[in-house]
């Protein structure tokens, strides 16, 4: 798919992006893309933990502690 993509293509693409967005908006754009990638990675990691069975159970209410002594007389 990208077998013909060379360094010149990347340079032309970079010039087009700078012309479209302007040099002043590019740092903000890069920051938002970085934050989005960070959120995406965290979500993928949490989904992997859920599928492995390592996720903590939902906190629906108080959970019984199996190591606590029984309160029954």
Chain segment 22-43, per-residue pLDDT in tens = 888 888 888 999 999 999 999 9
Q: Is the pLDDT of residue 72 over 90?
A: no
| Three-state secondary structure of 5-68 | CCHHHHHHHHHHHHHHHCCCCHHHHHHHHHHHHHHHHHHHHHHHHHHHCCCCCCCCCCCCCCCC
Mean pLDDT over residues 6-22, rounded?
A: 89
* 67/50: higher pLDDT: 50
Residue with tokens 């606590």: 68
Whole-angstrom Cα distance, residue 11 to residue 13?
5
Tell me what the pLDDT averaged over the chain comes to: 78
Q: Is the pLDDT of residue 46 over 80?
A: yes
């Amino acid at each position: 798919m990208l077998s013909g993509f060379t360094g010149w293509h990347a340079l032309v693409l970079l010039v087009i992006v700078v012309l479209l967005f302007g040099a002043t908006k590019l740092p903000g754009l890069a920051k938002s893309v970085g934050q989005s990638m960070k959120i995406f990675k965290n979500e993928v990691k949490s989904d992997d933990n859920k599928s492995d069975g390592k996720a903590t159970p939902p906190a629906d209410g108080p959970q019984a502690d199996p190591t606590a002594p029984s309160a029954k007389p």
